[in-house]
Amino acid sequence: MDDDVQLLDTTLRDGEQAPGVSLSPEQKAEIASLLDEAGVSVIEAGSACTGPGERRTMDRVTDLDLDATVTSFTRGVQHDIDLALDVDVDGVHIVVPSSDRHVEDKVGTTKEGVLESTAELVEYATDHDLWVEVIGEDGSRADLDFLEEIMVAGMDAGADRFAFADTVGHTSPEHAYEAVSRLSQHGPVSTHTHDDLGLAVTNALASIAAGADLVHATVNGIGERAGNVALEEVAIALWHNYDVETVDTEQLYRLSSLVADATGIVLPPNKAVSGDNAFAHESGIHTDGMLKDERMYEPYAPEAVGRERRLVLGKHAGRAGVEAALAEHDVTVEDDDLAEIVAKVKEIGERGRRVTDTDLLAITEDVTGRDRERNVELLDLTAASGNGTPAASVRLRVGDDERTASGTGSGPVDAAMKAVREALRNVEFRLDEYHVDAITGGTDAVVTVDVTLRVGDRTASVAASDADITQASVEAIVDGLDRLLPADDPTGVPADD
């Protein structure tokens, strides 16, 4: 395998073509900056021909002065190249038709016409000092002889490289290998794969094995239909199996989270690298194994992609996992009690619920009969939204104090969070996770809010359910703080204050 493989990210162009996705200029600039920081070699910032709004956004990206080569997608017309020059990109991807379907039915030209215009456009772009990649659109369904002819025409005219495009996600690894092997005889080849058959990573790796040295990918694999090949999956597969370093893998989870937030496309929990469960272990046997040897049930450590391992309690929980979870909260129990706690944890898990830290601690107190005074308690919450600015106020008992505070925000939940922060202004806490699920489908649905709260280096997971999302959110946060703040000084006010 060529260890000089590099990544081209097209989240901002092909990724943004996913249904329902539209990124703001600020979001595009933020994503581009993080891609650059991670070491992605080429960033396709958009299509300059889309319109003035897109060009303003692309300007924002080119103004960042990134190390990466910043490019624009262009159709096979000179005007598109002019528009790309206007936004000051370093290079262009000139897309020309290559399959009969695209040559004749879509563009309405002939093969000779494609070869001629490819050469002309490449010359025009290189004359203007642009880095040029020619993409043969629908290349995986094109006649291979003709695909080679397009590449040769482009390279002879001065192009830097040619991309093998599996535009509709149709190809097999064997065909990708054959096509790229033949194309590679004429110069550097990129590969552009889609996931319609679930083969995007496989086809990218087959292309690399055949000589491709630049992989087009999108963060989280977002893109049209089933999406593009996921950047994080290619990067981790190359690193783990072939010792090929393309990017700083420790940035991968940050990138995934940023793109998921910006696009609103939530990742499935079992998604490789970035899914919620990618480094979570629930089964008793697995948890026990993980506690003995962290590599027992993982191909690579979560830290390699900027994450942490999670041991989850549920219906498969065992003694070792429960004991370890209790130890995180400095709780030890007798053997008999442990057996009873494990049984109760499994009971909740069997009802299909995730067992949170607060569930576990409440069960433990119940079983051991250790009574506990709450440190923090929600006494009252009011929230209002509508025509005015959303506002909320809370009344909390914190230790022996009673505190009232109010806040405003982008919505009632945000306003209530600000009120809680104001009431506890001496306490630094962070939301590592905030997740809402509707349990039923109607407007009267009960929602469950799952949060993971952090104070210093301690975390607590909590869930709360209510028909009112603001109420459930505040209850979950107050319950988490109740567990995390020190019992002797929950207000967080220094003793000498």
- Contact footprint for Zn ion (CB under 5 A): 14
Q: How far is the CB of 182 from Zn ion (least distance, A)?
A: 21
78 membership: H or E segment, kind and range: helix 78-86
Q: How far is the CB of 167 from Zn ion (least distance, A)?
A: 6
Helix axis angle for 144-156 and 111-127, nearest 10°, is 30
Q: How far is the CB of 393 from Zn ion (least distance, A)?
A: 50
Helix axis angle for 357-368 and 335-350, nearest 10°, is 130
Q: How far is the CB of 196 from Zn ion (least distance, A)?
A: 11
| Partner residues linked to 165 by β-bridges | 192
- 153 residue type, one letter: A
Quick one: 14 or 133, whose CB is closer to Zn ion? 14
Quick one: 14 or 233, whose CB is closer to Zn ion? 14
Quick one: 14 or 30, whose CB is closer to Zn ion? 14
For residue 246, the Cα-to-chain-centroid distance in whole angstroms is 18
Distance CA 137, CA 103 (A): 9
Quick one: 14 or 149, whose CB is closer to Zn ion? 14
> Which residue bears the tokens 């601690």?
361
| Partner residues linked to 408 by β-bridges | 391
Full DSSP string of 196-227: TTS-HHHHHHHHHHTT--EEEEBGGG--STT-
Q: How far is the CB of 428 from Zn ion (least distance, A)?
A: 44
| Partner residues linked to 462 by β-bridges | 451
Distance CA 461, CA 62 (A): 41
Quick one: 50 or 382, whose CB is closer to Zn ion? 50
DSSP classification of residue 470 = H
Distance CA 410, CA 85 (A): 39
Q: How far is the CB of 301 from Zn ion (least distance, A)?
A: 32
Quick one: 71 or 471, whose CB is closer to Zn ion? 71
Q: How far is the CB of 169 from Zn ion (least distance, A)?
A: 9
Quick one: 59 or 224, whose CB is closer to Zn ion? 224
Q: Which of 28, 121, 105, 109 is nearest to 70 (CA)?
A: 28
Q: How far is the CB of 190 from Zn ion (least distance, A)?
A: 12
SS3 339: helix
> Which residue bears the tokens 């597969």?
237
Tokens matching residue 88: 């000051």
Q: Which residue is nearest to Zn ion (CB)?
A: 14
Distance CA 237, CA 205 (A): 9
Quick one: 161 or 346, whose CB is closer to Zn ion? 161
